[in-house]
């Protein structure tokens, strides 16, 4: 059962019985970077239509503008994996403001399509850095009792950013919207300046006095942090802090969780989430809500936020694996049903007569994704790697995530040409089923375990892939 906070802001039944106010502030500061990333993801939806009306780009250039975010992300993930080891988690979080700010300023630079493209690349680069460092920082500063809730805040920040930019896009021109989008990234950098570095990173780099000060800030001034510091040190002592490249496939504490992390990243992107978002406007129109179709993205964004908040609340009670498993089942059914809807319409069934099925499938899919495959994969990735491999291994996982995100976004039209609408959704439905089975068989439950205990699970001589809910 998840540990709760009492009225004094202290953990109940926790080994480290301190206050968590500063911990929550530090986590919120990191999550502001995720909000900045959400602005980057959602920006193209309101902005591209305005740009096209102004004659700035055609549909092919618009497609590239959308896809360049993922290309920037493919580059940003590995770089962030290096910087969080070289410069630290806190400094990397502050550093993300640079590509975000430069990117948005280039986007508003007048009359230059090339600069629009470069700006989009940079915002994708910054977004990938956030997806690497944000979850790692939150996981390493959190207590095991609150790690799930606070770690899920990264995905909540992303969905809030998407909803914000969708909503603001109805009132602001694309240039002003780009300038507004600078704010969350800058706010993240400013707040992180006053936050401590991860104590695990500090101890791994022989900076014990700073680590003790960091823990004291995070757990409260009257908390004895010596025992927690000793527990972290004990876990680090079993590691050779210099990571060699061959350890990625020879060291069980690295290659076993890396397989899990890569699998989660592949199945998250290949679940079809971006495609469902793409079809949301047409689904609302066919369901008889044509006058509301322009608000479809805001409605879907709102649903994502509400159920991501619910995921944050229940994730330390329900566990990571059950949420992945049950969400995977819901997404599989929704995706396959949605494919059947297109198959029936192609066979002559009036779309209006089945609009309820399309709308229902969309809503169930978004709810399921928001509860499981939205927040959980990156949370698990932030928990399963040993400290010395967090940068490299997380960077690899994020690279895979962005690569498959780019493939899905850029080549969905080709998939439609080959398989049609029905076949395309059945294709993604198969990946949803595969993700469900992968979660059932291979993803361990990390709820309530310290990061050191999770590492021991993967290196155990009796290591067995997890089964059952």
Average pLDDT value for residue range 68-73: 90
247-469: same fold as 16-195? yes
pLDDT band of 464, cuts 50, 70, 90: very low
Considering the chain, what is the average pLDDT of its residues?
A: 86
Q: Residue 197: its pLDDT value, please?
A: 96
Tokens of 305: 């936020």
Q: Residue 208: its pLDDT value, please?
A: 92
Q: Residue 2: its pLDDT value, please?
A: 39
Average pLDDT value for residue range 276-280: 71
Q: Residue 64: its pLDDT value, please?
A: 82
Residue 235 pLDDT exceeds 80: no
Residue 308 pLDDT exceeds 50: yes
Q: Residue 1: its pLDDT value, please?
A: 33
pLDDT > 90: percent of the chain: 49
* DSSP, residue by residue, 99-125: HHHHHHHHHTSTT-HHHHHHHHHHHHH
Tens digit of each residue's pLDDT (9 = 90 or more) over 166-192 = 899 889 999 999 999 999 999 999 999
Topology of domain 16-195 in CATH is Growth Hormone; Chain: A; (1.20.1250)
The larger pLDDT score, comparing residue 9 to residue 428, is at: 428
Q: Residue 297: its pLDDT value, please?
A: 78
Radius of gyration (C-alpha) of the chain in whole angstroms: 22
Residue 293 pLDDT exceeds 70: no
Residue 111 pLDDT exceeds 80: no
Residue 233 pLDDT exceeds 50: yes
Ordered by start, the domain boundaries in the chain are 16-195, 247-469
Is 152 within 8 Å of 379 (Cβ atoms)?
Answer: yes
Is 37 within 8 Å of 131 (Cβ atoms)?
Answer: yes
The larger pLDDT score, comparing residue 286 to residue 119, is at: 119
Distance CA 246, CA 255 (A): 10
Distance CA 384, CA 373 (A): 17
Tens digit of each residue's pLDDT (9 = 90 or more) over 398-442 = 999 999 988 887 788 788 889 988 898 999 999 999 999 999 999
Q: Residue 13: its pLDDT value, please?
A: 42
Distance CA 172, CA 47 (A): 9
- Residue 388 is classified by DSSP as G
Distance CA 40, CA 33 (A): 11
Residue 22 pLDDT exceeds 90: yes
Average pLDDT value for residue range 376-391: 88
Topology of domain 247-469 in CATH is Growth Hormone; Chain: A; (1.20.1250)
Q: Residue 287: its pLDDT value, please?
A: 58
Residue 51 pLDDT exceeds 80: yes
9 burial (CB, 10 Å; 0-12 / 13-18 / 19+) is: middle
Q: Give backbone dihedrals phi and psi of 96, rounded to 5 degrees, phi first.
A: -60, -20
Q: Residue 46: its pLDDT value, please?
A: 83
Is 255 within 8 Å of 248 (Cβ atoms)?
Answer: yes
pLDDT band of 42, cuts 50, 70, 90: confident
Identity of the highest mean pLDDT range in 52-61, 219-228, 332-341: 332-341
pLDDT band of 342, cuts 50, 70, 90: confident
Q: What sign results for the dihedral spanned by CA atoms 209, 389, 93, 78?
A: positive
């Amino acid at each position: 059962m998840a540990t709760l906070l009492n009225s004094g802001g202290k953990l109940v039944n926790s080994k480290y019985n301190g206050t968590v106010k500063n911990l929550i502030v530090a986590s919120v500061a990191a999550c502001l970077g995720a909000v900045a990333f959400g602005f980057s993801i959602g920006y193209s939806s309101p902005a591209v239509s305005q740009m096209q009306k102004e004659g700035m780009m055609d549909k092919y250039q618009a497609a590239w503008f959308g896809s360049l975010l993922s290309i920037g992300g493919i580059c940003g993930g590995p770089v962030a994996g290096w910087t969080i080891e070289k410069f630290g988690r806190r400094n990397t979080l502050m550093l993300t403001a640079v590509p975000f700010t430069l990117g948005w300023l280039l986007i508003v630079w007048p009359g230059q399509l090339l600069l629009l493209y470069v700006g989009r690349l940079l915002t994708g680069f910054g977004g990938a850095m956030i997806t690497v460092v944000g979850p790692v920082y939150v996981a390493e500063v959190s207590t095991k009792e609150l790690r799930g809730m606070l770690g899920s805040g990264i995905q909540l920040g992303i969905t809030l950013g998407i909803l914000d930019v969708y909503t603001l896009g109805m009132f602001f021109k694309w240039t002003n919207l780009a300038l507004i989008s600078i704010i969350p990234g800058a706010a993240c950098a400013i707040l992180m300046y006053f936050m401590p570095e991860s104590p695990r990173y500090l101890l791994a780099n022989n900076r014990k006095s700073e680590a003790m000060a960091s823990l004291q800030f995070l757990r409260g001034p009257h908390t004895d942090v010596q025992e927690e510091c000793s527990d972290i040190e004990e876990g680090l002592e079993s590691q050779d802090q210099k990571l060699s490249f061959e350890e990625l496939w020879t060291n069980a504490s690295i290659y076993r969780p890396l397989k899990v992390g890569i699998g989660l990243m592949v199945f998250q992107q290949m679940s079809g989430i971006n495609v469902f978002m793409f079809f949301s406007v047409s689904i609302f129109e066919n369901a008889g809500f044509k006058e509301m179709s322009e608000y479809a993205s805001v409605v879907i964004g709102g649903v994502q936020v509400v159920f991501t908040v619910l995921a944050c609340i229940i994730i330390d009670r329900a566990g990571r694996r059950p949420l992945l498993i049950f969400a995977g089942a819901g997404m599989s059914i929704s995706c396959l049903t949605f494919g059947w809807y297109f198959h029936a319409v192609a066979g002559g069934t009036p779309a209006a007569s089945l609009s309820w099925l399309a709308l229902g499938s969309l809503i169930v899919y978004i709810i399921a994704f928001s509860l499981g495959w939205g927040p959980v994969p990156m949370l698990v990735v932030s928990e399963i790697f040993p400290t010395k491999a967090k940068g490299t291994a997380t960077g690899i996982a994020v690279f895979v995530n962005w690569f498959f995100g780019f493939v899905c976004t850029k080549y969905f039209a080709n998939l439609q040409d080959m398989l049609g609408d029905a076949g395309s959704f059945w294709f993604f439905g198969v990946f949803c089923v595969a993700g469900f089975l992968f979660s059932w068989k291979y993803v361990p439950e990390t709820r309530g375990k310290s990061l050191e205990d999770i590492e021991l699970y993967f290196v155990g001589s009796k290591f067995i892939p997890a089964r059952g809910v």
